[in-house]
Amino acid sequence: MIGMDWKKKVATTLALTSALLLGACASGTDEATDSSAASSTASADAVRIGILQILEHESLSAARTGFLEVLEEAGYVEGDNLIVDYQNAQGDQANLQSMAERLAGSNDLILGISTPASQAIANAEKENAVLFTAVTDPIDAGLVASAEEPGANITGTSDQAPMDKQIELLLSIVPSAETVGIIFNSSEMNSIVQSDQAKALLEAAGVNVEIMTVTSTNDVQQVMESLVQKVDAIYIPTDNTLSSTMATVGQIAMEAKIPVIPGATEMVEAGGLATYGIDFKELGRQTGEMALQILEEGKLPSELPVQFPETLQLVINEEMAEALGIDPDSIKLPE
């Protein structure tokens, strides 16, 4: 077995229950509370999984769902032979460190969902296995030494999207575009990397780029209302802040008749127009398969190369297309 010595786990059911109840209070989410309540009936040798998520939005939650589905399909039943300690920072960076420290040292495996969450876990947990998902550039984020040879006790899946195809899709939908806007949270490393890549691709295609940034969800409406006045289309990376506010983004874009091409399929469903992107649930499932290699085959994270998305798809928001006066059937992925 990996991680802790399972024979030295919780000594009594009372001690386990107390720890879980304290954890439920600390997490501040109903989901975490439900998980803790279920785990109070788990066997003493149950596998313990910690999950740290930066905030609640469809892409990240879909990755978590896919991850847990794979474990369930493999026979890990929460409340029986599986204990899940789910922590959600609700977008508050200050919560990440305390939550990461809570999870460190008390789980057989910890999953970090997003770059900030994964970085917090990597800093807190130096021995037991750590996986990450929804991280665009794990090398630049300091999580792994290389994709092929991660190094320490951490590996996982990248959500690196086919940005060249996404930009081609945007320009095929708005071929007359002279200026394309890019909006993202300036404190998210993933978004900075993707914004730089998108800017280079757009400029290479002869298009002007207008970049505007936000620092929190509170900024999104004002910045979007300004941006739509200056551009012919908008590209949004797989940014956590923008992902969680896509309904607002979509409403503003619809009123201004500005197409929005985001980095993730879930972002299209929440308010974008179209994208060729990642299915985050499938990405979570990939990560779940890596977890099984660690839990059941005794693999070390250092032995598992970082994986990239296996499932990509063209997704179109037909309601948004019609609102923008665009025939949904005319949206095709450029060859």
How, if at all, do strands 312-316 and 274-278 pair?
Answer: antiparallel
Residue 80 near residue 43 (C-beta atoms within 8 A): yes
In angstroms, the CA 17 to CA 275 distance is: 45
Residue 34 near residue 41 (C-beta atoms within 8 A): no
Mean pLDDT of 274-278: 92
Check whether 15 has a pLDDT greater than 90.
Answer: no
Taken in order of first residue, the domains within the chain and their CATH numbers are 6-159+280-310 (3.40.50.2300), 163-278+313-330 (3.40.50.2300)
Check whether 9 has a pLDDT greater than 60.
Answer: no
Question: What pLDDT digit, counting tens, does each position of 141-154 carry?
Answer: 999 999 999 999 99
pTM exceeding 0.95: no
pLDDT at 42: 75
Residue 32 vs residue 266, higher pLDDT: 266
Mean pLDDT of 159-186: 95
Q: Return left, alpha or beta for 24; rule: phi > 0 is left, psi -120 to 50 is alpha, else beta.
A: alpha
pLDDT at 38: 52
- Percent of the chain exceeding pLDDT 90 equals 76
Check whether 248 has a pLDDT greater than 90.
Answer: yes
In angstroms, the CA 277 to CA 313 distance is: 6
Beta-bridge partner residues of 234: 181, 260
**Could you tell me the pLDDT band of residue 40, with boundaries at 50, 70 and 90?**
low
The pLDDT mean for the chain works out to 88
- Find which of 35-39, 225-229, 264-268 is predicted with most confidence, using mean pLDDT: 225-229
pLDDT at 282: 94
Mean pLDDT of 244-252: 96
- Percent of the chain exceeding pLDDT 70 equals 88
pLDDT at 22: 38
pLDDT at 39: 52
